[in-house]
Amino acid sequence: GAVVSQHPSRVICKSGTSVKIECRSLDFQATTMFWYRQFPKKSLMLMATSNEGSKATYEQGVEKDKFLINHASLTLSTLTVTSAHPEDSSFYICSARGLGRDQETQYFGPGTRLLVL
Amino acid sequence: DAKTTQPPSMDCAEGRAANLPCNHSTISGNEYVYWYRQIHSQGPQYIIHGLKNNETNEMASLIITEDRKSSTLILPHATLRDTAVYYCIVRGTGANSKLTFGKGITLSVRP
């Protein structure tokens, strides 16, 4: 299957700082990227959807000014958690689909574990 | 997108077939059935998807009933590494379609 990478794999930061997470599609052009969040023992929850070159569409209850998403190219999307607080500690997972062998299938990255102290 | 119902958990013996059921009685004609799995602390892994015909790939087989209201994912020879949470998801087509995850089914493969 297609490969999606995320960086960093884990990050620890102080409360009030901002953290940027990168998501890259390595072998296909991602026309649409998705960002999910997963708390311990819970399922994945979709945060936002972004199409290349357009503003992201956020799910209900997700603060767009806190979780900044940029999808500037067909292979890169970034999620910035601004002014992070301990309650933002979670497992953040990106997903992508797009031009290539199977345009309808979403492929997921390995996830980024964020711990805010 | 239609919702799915899965049992919370099941187990099977290593080397035996694992049959994971999924109910999607409200599925509509243009919606696909997708299966993903998530091994602990990793991102979900795509397994297989189908519309109405049965599908098979190197990982699994997907059997969809004729009325499309339910499906079964079959892992033909389960190994310990198949222990994971398996998600059955129904998704339409189009630019605005997205995967919505339920609770999934936890498969435990025992030695």
- pLDDT computed for residue B2 by the predictor: 66
- pLDDT computed for residue B30 by the predictor: 87
Residue tagged 């379609």 (tokens): B97
Picking from B33, B42, B98, B105 by the largest number of A CB atoms within 10 A of its own CB, the best residue to mutate is B98
Cβ-in-10-Å burial (0-12, 13-18, 19+) of A96 comes to buried
Nearest alpha-carbon partner for A83 in A20, A17, A19, A21: A17
Instruction: Label residue A8 by pLDDT band (50, 70, 90).
Output: very high
The predicted-structure confidence for B56-84, as pLDDT tens digits, reads as follows: 999 999 999 999 999 999 999 999 999 99
Contact (CB<8Å) A106/B99: yes
Query: Could you tell me what percent of chain A has a pLDDT over 70?
Result: 95
Buried b (16+ CB within 10 A) or exposed e, A11-47: bebeeeeebebbbbbeebebbbbbbbbbeeeeebbbb
- pLDDT computed for residue B29 by the predictor: 86
- pLDDT computed for residue A100 by the predictor: 62
**A62 close to B (CB below 8 A):** no
* pLDDT of A72 over the 90 cut: no
Instruction: Label residue A105 by pLDDT band (50, 70, 90).
Output: confident
- pLDDT computed for residue A1 by the predictor: 67
Residues facing residue B106 across a β-bridge: B9, B85
Quick one: closest CA in A to B37, which residue? A108
**What residues of chain B lie within 8 A of the CB of A51, using their CB?**
95
* pLDDT of A12 over the 80 cut: yes
Q: How far is B111 from chain A (nearest CA, A)?
A: 24
**What residues of chain B lie within 8 A of the CB of A111, using their CB?**
41-43
**A114 close to B (CB below 8 A):** no
The predicted-structure confidence for B94-105, as pLDDT tens digits, reads as follows: 777 889 999 999
Residue tagged 């998501």 (tokens): A23
pLDDT (mean) for B19-48: 94
* pLDDT of A54 over the 70 cut: yes
Cα–Cα distances in angstroms (integers) from residue B19 to residues A2, A28, B62, B103, B108, in the given order: 26, 32, 10, 17, 12
Residue A113 identity? R
